Structure 1
Amino acid sequence: MTKAEQALETRERILTAACEVIADIGFEHVSMRKVAEHAGVSKALLHYHFDTREKLFAEAMTHSFAKTGTDTGSDSDADPAAVVLARIVNSMLPTDEELRQDWKLWQELWVRALRDGTARHLAVDLYDQLHAWVGGTVERGVASGEFTDCDVAALGTLVLALCDGLGIRLMLEDPRVDLATARSTVWRAIAPSLGIAPDFPEV
């Protein structure tokens, strides 16, 4: 392994550890020492890659988003747009342990974004990427004739708003909202605009 490869591997390990620690105890309780210990690196090496907690947090959020925020399956271009959109909805909800960890990070970001301009810009940028992700899939479905023509931007806003609201209820383990209810609620809300069946597809 070259020095450059080793540095990338170390950076990846630190970011993974930071995501896990922040999700576990919250950013306000995170110290650089705790992240370094969890990553199995020295505090000096951690500071070499990330000189402040704030930079580490921002990079951890981006890292987490890059890992789970673009996964729509192994061959999404060949799959029906409705199936890909359903996978996107799935990934925007806390449907497994990895996504529950991501949700905890998002919740930390929301809190910080209320008080910190840098965190607010990061949150808006990540939402822009989510809008583009949803919008690109909808546009593909419209172009292929699978979806009826619609206001793509408005539909993207609706999907994100529903997933945020229902996702919080799932994270709180609200007995009124389970995963099946969350999925069907999103799908029934967007199906009329897309001209598709209101039943959530098999993904």
Structure 2
Amino acid sequence: MPKLVDHEERRAHIIDALLRVAADTGLHAVTMRSVAVEAGVSVRLVQYYFDTKEQLLLAALTRLAVRMGERVRERVRATGPSTAPRDIVEAVLLEAVPTDEESRTFHLVYTEYAVLSVTDPALADQSFLAAPNEMEDFLVGQLTAAQQAGDTDPRLDARQEAVVLLAVSAGLGLSVLLGQRTTSDAVAVLRYHLGRLFPGSGASDGCGKSGHANQRRP
């Protein structure tokens, strides 16, 4: 009896091959053939699931965004059910800093895609902004909760502060990719900024507990 083909599994296999190629050679150098070679399949099979390179790139971006969302939720859950907003904010922002191979690949490919989409209309996709917008709204909610709890200055504009936090974390993530600073140094800068925003609160150890920032590194 012929073996049933799991099309979603095969699509995922091809997308994962693209991500490996992109992480090694850069998104601009990815071709249907290089992806096929990495996946161990024919170019025709890649084209069966993805008519164009652009479709393949967008599918890979979607897969990355979904996985990033899962990682953020995992970090937030790890802080515990009664964690202060400050620790939840830190957990979310830490996902913008490459701390392992998966997050490094995400930020490398995501950054390259953002640059390419500026000049290539075929790659322009408004859904690209969905995840950042959702994260911004989530941070606004946490900052508002912190203001109501008296953990941060009630006069601050929660929306503006959320935008600043995301810009800081994104910039730190890029500096790690470029080798300007280490992951530990980037995390220390992030926690320093959070310490100013949440005066009197200790840095999170990733488990919802407070303590001195210099005693912990992811």
Deviation of the 1:138 alpha carbon = 3.6
Query: In the TM superposition, what whole-angstrom CA distance separates every residue of 1:110-158 from its partner, at most 9, and x where no partner exists?
Result: 2212213443634433422332343344455556x27444433212211
Q: Distance in 1 between matches of 2:130 and 2:182?
A: 29
Structure 2 segments unaligned to the other structure (5+ residues):
207-218
3-state SS of 1:95 partner = coil
Q: Distance in 2 between matches of 1:23 and 1:79?
A: 38
Q: Distance in 1 between matches of 2:190 and 2:48?
A: 44
Deviation of the 1:184 alpha carbon = 2.8
Structure 1 segments unaligned to the other structure (5+ residues):
none
Q: Distance in 2 between matches of 1:180 and 1:154?
A: 26
- Normalised by the size of structure 2, how large is the TM-score? 0.76
Amino acid aligned to 1:183 = V
Match of 1:130 in 2: 135
Which protein is bigger by CA-based radius of gyration?
Answer: 2
CA contact (8 A) 2:86 2:146 kept: yes
3-state SS of 2:105 partner = helix
Q: How many residues align?
A: 197
Amino acid aligned to 1:101 = T
Match of 1:167 in 2: 173
CA contact (8 A) 2:195 2:203 kept: no
Deviation of the 1:77 alpha carbon = 6.2
3-state SS of 2:203 partner = coil
Q: Distance in 2 between matches of 1:43 and 1:29?
A: 16
CA contact (8 A) 2:94 2:169 kept: no
Q: Does 1:45 align with 2:53?
A: no
Deviation of the 1:193 alpha carbon = 3.6
Query: In the TM superposition, what whole-angstrom CA distance separates every residue of 1:139-198 from its partner, at most 9, and x where no partner exists?
Result: 55556x274444332122111111121112111212xx332332232233244444552x
- Normalised by the size of structure 1, how large is the TM-score? 0.81
**Percent same amino acid among aligned pairs?**
24
